[in-house]
Structure 1
Amino acid sequence: MLCPKLSIRKHWAAVPLAVAVCTGASAANWEVAPRVQAGYRYSDNYRLDLPSQEVEVSGGEADVGVTFRTVDPRTNFEITPRINATYFPDEKDEDSTDYYLTAGFSDVTPRRRINVPFLYSDEYVVDSELPEAGEGGELGEPDQGDSGRFVQRNRRDFFRIAPSMSYDISQRYRMELNAHYLQADFENQLPGFQQDFSEVGAGAGFGFLTSPRSALLVRALASQYDTTTTTDAYGGEVEWNTQYSANSRAYVRVGAQQTKPERGSSDTNIIAGAGGQWASQRNTLFLDFTRSVGPVSAGTVVERHQLRLRIDHDVSQRFALRAGARLSRDEEIEDGSYPTREYAIGELGFEWRWLRQWSLIGTYNYRWQEYEDEPSDASASAFLIGIVYEPKRAQ
C-alpha cells in the first residue's frame, strides 16, 4: 500500500490519519483524548529584556490538542497535534499562534526494546528561546538550541527524531544502538542571535546486566553540528542505569568528547549526567543533571551544564500541587562572539478538578538570565490562570 507524502509544515494536522492508514492501524484499539485549555496570562517582562526595555503583556491564551494512541501491551503509537494562541490587546506585536506535533512509537519484548520519539514545532522565538521549567527532553536526553537573545520578532521551525534500540544478547549481555537528527530553521536569519542549525549523531553501546533490572554499558559516540560552520565530535561514555519499575528509573554516566570545528582548534569536553524519575500513587519526581555539548541558535556550539527538577504531589483526588525548576549555564567551546550565558526558571502551580472533565489551573513562574558581556541581568515574573476541559478523561 502506498502512503501519501506529507509536508509537515503545511499538513501537520493530517499526520495522525496518514500514520493510521500507513501502519494498518484499523486493527488496533485506539484511544482519543482531546484537551482544551483557555485562560489569562500576564508577564512583566515577556521577552526577558534588560531593565528599562521590558515589554509587559496581559491577555488571553488558548491551548488545544488531541492525543491519538494505541492501546496494546507490546506495541504502542501515540501522536498529539496541538495549537497554542495568545492575544494581548495592549501589545498586539507579541501575539502568536504556535503549532506543535509530538509522536512516539515503541515496541517492547522481553529481550528487545525499540523507541522512536518525534517532535515538531513552529513557534514564536519567545517560546523557543526561553524554555519553560517543564520542558527540556527525557531523562538523560536534554534539549539543546535556545540562546535567549532577541533583536526583532522571529519564528522558528524545529523538528527532532531520535530512534533507539536495545537488545539483550543473553541473560548477561546487552547491545544498544541509537541515532538522532534535529533541524532548526528561522524565518529571518539574525547573525549572532537566531541562525539555522542542525545536529546529527549516533551511538553504539555494549555492556552487561549487573542484575535483572540494572546494566553497565560502554558507548561510542559521534556527532556533527552544522551552525555558521561545521563541527565534528567523537567520544565515549560509561553508564550505569536501573529500572525500579515501569515508571521509575535512574542513571549515572560520565565520558569525554573531542569537538573539532571546521575552522579552529579542537577541544576536549567532559560529558556527564546523573538523575532519575520516581513515581508513587500520589507523587512523581524528576531530577536530571547533565553536562552536554550541542548547537544553539546564536550560530555556535556550546558546552551546557543543566539541572532540571519537577515535582507533582496529589494532595487529594481533586487537588494537586506542581513545582519545577530549570537552571543552565552555556559556555562556547572556543573563544568567539557568544558570551557565557546563565538562565534559570522556577515554577509553582496547582490543579483543582471540581468535575471529572473540568479543572481549574494556575501557575506562577520567575525567570532570570545573565550574559557576561551585558551590564545587567534580566528577570521576569509571570502567571497563568485557566480552565481545562478533557471530555474523554476516565477519572
Structure 2
Amino acid sequence: MLPLGLATFCVACGAGAANWEVAPRVQAGYRYSDNFRLYQDGQEVDVSGGEADIGVTFRTVDPRTTFEITPRINSTYFPDEKSEDANNYYLTAGFSDVTPRRRFDVPFTYSHEDVTRSELPDVSEGGGLGEPTEGDSGRFLTRNRRDFYRIAPSFEYDISQRYRMELNAHYLKADFDSQLPGFQQDFSEKGAGAGFGFLTSPRSAVLVRAVAFQYETTAKTDAYGGEVEWNTQYSPNSRAYVRIGAQQTKPERGSSDTNVTGGAGGQWASERNRLFLDFTRSVGPVSAGTVVERYQLRLRLDHDVTQRVALRVGARLSRDEQVEDGTYPTREYAIGELGFEWRWLRQWSLIGTYNYRWQEYEDEPSDRTANSFLIGIVYEPKRSE
C-alpha cells in the first residue's frame, strides 16, 4: 500500500499549485516459463498462468518545473504452482527544475518484490546512461522478498558560457524479509561526487569528477576515486558519453584494491527508431553480502514498422567479480528479449515478448538457462497518439 498512499499524498499536495496530467496503463496476459527460478538442470520449476500489470502516471504540465510519479503493481497467478504467485509493488518518481543555466534533478525509485524478480533483472530494468543495474546476485534458495529504495539528487550549473560545475549524491538500501547468509542479506550504498568541466561546443562538455562511496554489506567498505567524462547532447532525445576513472576500495576487513571504472554509450531517437546502448564497469554491493566489480552491457532497440506495428529487441550481459576476499564466485548473467506490439486501436494494443535467460557461476559444474514468453492486451485510456 505504500506506493499508492505516497502517490495520493503527493498528488494532493501539488494539486493546487500545478496542472496535472494523469495517464493510466492496464496490462493483462498469459505468462509461461520453463525455469522460473533459473535453477540447475533437473531442478527446474515451470510456471504458466495469468499476469496483470497496472500503473498510473501523475505528472505536472509545466515547461520549467516538472514532477512525475508512477505507482504500479504487478501480480501473477500460476494455478499449478501457487507458491510462485506474487504481488510486486513499484514506485518511480522524479522532480526536475531547469533554467538556461542550471538543472536540478531528484529521481526516486522504490520496489517491494519477490526475489525471482529482484535477483534476475529484465532487459528494461535499470537507470539511464552510465547508471547500471545494482544489487542483484542471482542467488536464492527459498521464497523471499526485498524492499529497495534509491534516491539520487544532482545539480548542474553553467558558471559561464565556457565552464560548468556539478554536484551529485545518491543513497540506496535493500532490506530482505529473511536474512540468508551468502544469498540474501541487507545492503546499502551512499555516495557523492563533485565535478568541474568546460564546454567544448554548445552541446558537448568534458568534466573531471571526484567521487566517494561507502558500501555496507556484512562489513563496511569505503571507496574514493576520480573520473573524466566527455558527453554530448545531439538533440533533446539523443546523447552520448565516454567515461574513464579509478577508485581505491578499502574494506573494513581485508586488503584494499584499486579498481578501474568507466563507461561508454549513447541513446539515439529518430522518427521510427529508438536505440539505447551502454557499457559500464562499476563497483557496488550485491545481495550475497559482498562488494563486486561489475561489467555490464545493456542494449535496447525499438523500431516502428508502421504506425500500428512496432518491434523490440534487447539484451543485458553482466559479469561480477568479488572485490574483497570471500567466497562469492564469479557470476555471469545474460538475458535476451524479442517483442512486438500491434496497436489495432489508439487505446488498445496486443503485445508479445520472448525472453531467454542464462547464468553461470564459476564454482558450479554447469550453467543454467530459462525460456519464457508473455502475450497480453494493453489498455491506455489517455493515450493521445
Q: Which amino acid aligns with 1:39?
A: G
Counterpart of 2:341? 351
Question: Counterparts of 1:163 and 1:303 in 2: how far apart (Å)?
Answer: 24
Query: What are the ranges of 5 or more consecutive residues in structure 2 without an aligned counterpart?
Result: none
> Quick one: distance in 2 between partners of 1:361 and 1:135?
18
2:254–2:325 Cα contact (<8 Å) kept = no
Of 281, 293, 312, the residue aligned with 2:302 is 312
Note the alpha carbon deviations across 1:242-267, whole angstroms, 9 max, x for none: 00110100000000000000001100
Distance in 2 (CA, whole Å) between partners of 1:221 and 1:212 is 26
TM-score (norm 2): 0.99
CA distance in 1, matches of 2:125, 2:173: 18
Q: Which residue of 1 aligns with 2:279?
A: 289
Number of residue pairs aligned between Structure 1 and Structure 2: 385
C-alpha contact (below 8 Å) 2:290/2:328 kept by paired residues = yes
Q: Is the 8 A contact 2:34 2:44 kept in 1?
A: yes
Is 2:17 the counterpart of 1:48? Answer: no
Task: Name the aligned partner's letter for residue 5 of structure 2.
Answer: A
- Residue type of the alignment partner of 1:295: P
Tell me, yes or no, if the aligned pair for 2:361 and 2:367 is still in contact at 8 Å: yes
Residue 141 of structure 1 aligns to a residue whose secondary structure is coil
**Aligned position for 1:4:** none
Cα displacement string for residues 232-285 of structure 1 (whole angstroms, at most 9, x for unaligned residues): 000000000000110100000000000000001100000010000000111000
Aligned to 2:51: 61
Structure 2 residue 116 is matched with structure 1 residue 116: no
Q: How many percent of aligned residue pairs carry the same amino acid?
A: 81
| Matches for 1:179-258 after TM superposition, within 5 Å | 179-258=169-248
1:12 CA displacement: 2.5
Counterpart-to-counterpart distance in 1, 2:305 and 2:3: 38
Give the drift of 1:14. Answer: 1.9
Q: Is the 8 A contact 2:11 2:58 kept in 1?
A: no
Trace 1:110-189 onto structure 2 (pairs within 5 A): 110-189=100-179
Q: Does 1:280 align with 2:297?
A: no
Q: Which residue of 1 aligns with 2:6?
A: 15
Answer yes or no: is the 8 Å Cα contact 1:312–1:322 preserved in 2: yes
* 2:64 is equivalent to residue 74 of structure 1: yes
Matches of 2:108 and 2:31, distance apart in 1 = 29
- Cα distance in 1, alignment partners of residues 329 and 37 from structure 2: 19
Q: In the aligned structure 2, how far is the partner of 1:12 from the partner of 1:357?
A: 25
User: How far off is 1:15 after superposition?
Assistant: 1.6
Q: Give me the whole-angstrom Cα distance separating, in 2, the residues matched to 1:160 and 1:334.
A: 24
RMSD of aligned alpha carbons: 0.8
Distance 2:276 2:324 in 1: 32
Provide the secondary structure at the position in 2 that maps to 1:272. Answer: strand
SS in 2 for 1:19: helix
TM-score (norm 1): 0.96
Deviation at 1:47, TM superposition (A): 0.4
Cα deviation for residue 71 of structure 1 reads 1.1
The letter for the 2-side match of 1:332 is Q
Confirm or deny: 8 A CA contact 2:68 2:93 kept in the other structure: yes
**Cα deviations by residue, 1:96-145 (Å, 9 ceiling, x for unpaired):** 00000000111111000111110000000000000001112111111210
Which stretches in structure 1 are left out of the alignment for 5+ residues?
Answer: 1-9
Give the letter for the 1:11 counterpart: L
The one of 85, 88, 107 aligned to 1:98 = 88
Determine the C-alpha separation between the residues in 1 that align with 2:17 and 2:148: 32
- 1:39-60 superposed Cα distances (whole Å, 9 cap, x missing partner): 0000000000000010000000
* Deviation for aligned residue 1:17: 2.8
Whole-Å separation in 2 of the counterparts to 1:262 and 1:11: 35
State the Cα deviation string for residues 300-339 of structure 1 (Å, max 9, x = none): 0000000000000001110000110000000001231100
Q: Do the aligned partners of 1:20 and 1:26 also contact (CA within 8 Å) in 2? A: no
Verify: 1:332 aligned to 2:326, yes or no.
no
Checking the alignment, whether the CA contact within 8 Å between 2:55 and 2:71 is kept in structure 1 is yes
SS for the counterpart of 1:356 is: coil
1:373-394 CA deviation, whole Å, 9 max, x = no partner?
A: 0111000000000000000000
CA distance in 1, matches of 2:163, 2:375: 50
Aligned counterparts of 2:85 and 2:305: Cα–Cα separation in 1: 36
Q: Is the 8 A contact 1:235 1:257 kept in 2?
A: yes
Rounded Cα–Cα distance in structure 2 between residues aligned with 1:13 and 1:106:
22
Structure 1 stretches of 4+ moved >3 Å: none
